[in-house]
Amino acid sequence: MSLKLYEIPQAIEDLIDPETGEIVDVNELERLTERLEGGIEWLALEVKNSLAEAEAMKKEKDAFATRQRIAENRAKSLKNYLSFVLRGQKYKTDRVSISYRRSETVQVDDEFILWARSEGGDAYLRYKEPEVDKAALKEDLKNGVLVPHAMLVENSNIQIK
């Protein structure tokens, strides 16, 4: 029967006599130890490969996002220039057709929020939910400040190099 990687430590422990502490089967111990080390190394290499692949994908994604942003900005700039050149006039050829549609937008100046708060215009404001500043909270907790409903938790994070 082939053991799973997580079963090997128990199998190794079973090779040691609990009363005397002697190794029952040295050859089996060596075989299991080599298999465990090989399995651990394989898993660690898989983690490294997966992280490298994820990093490469992130770089590719970032490169595409940059290219996308550049293309969108270029299109916006060209569209603005085209609007400037045409000054609201329609344009049509066999390959393109340019026309305009009306739209409405709301513009507010820098004083609007102050006005809305002081003059009862809260109906025109939206408020975001509060967000925990974990960096400041961590600093206070490290300095011994007791903060209700908050605590420092120490984790053990695996490092594979």
Residues 123-142 have pLDDT tens digits of: 899 999 999 999 999 999 99
**CA 57 distance to own-chain centroid:** 13
The one-letter amino acid code at 101 reads R
CB atoms closer than 10 angstroms to residue 1: 3
What pLDDT does residue 158 have? 79
Number of domains the chain contains: 1
Q: How far apart are CA 59 and CA 125, in angstroms?
A: 38
Phi, psi of 23 (to 5 degrees): -80, 125
Q: Is residue 44 part of a domain?
A: yes
Is 43 a domain residue? yes
Asked if residue 85 belongs to a domain, the reply is: yes
Claim: this prediction has a pTM higher than 0.75: no
Residues spanned by the domain of 56: 5-95
Judged against a pLDDT cut of 70, whether residue 90 lies above it is answered with: yes
**Which pLDDT belongs to residue 156?**
84
Structural domain includes residue 100: no
pLDDT in tens, 20-43: 889 999 999 999 999 999 999 999
Q: How confident is the model at residue 1 (pLDDT cuts 50, 70, 90)?
A: low
Tell me if residue 131 falls in helix, strand or coil.
Answer: coil
For residue 11, being part of any structural domain is answered with yes
Asked, for residue 152, whether it belongs to a domain, the answer is: no
61-83 confidence digits (pLDDT tens):
999 999 999 999 999 999 999 99
User: Does the residue 84 lie in any domain?
Assistant: yes
**Domain assignment present for 47:** yes
pLDDT of residue 66: 98
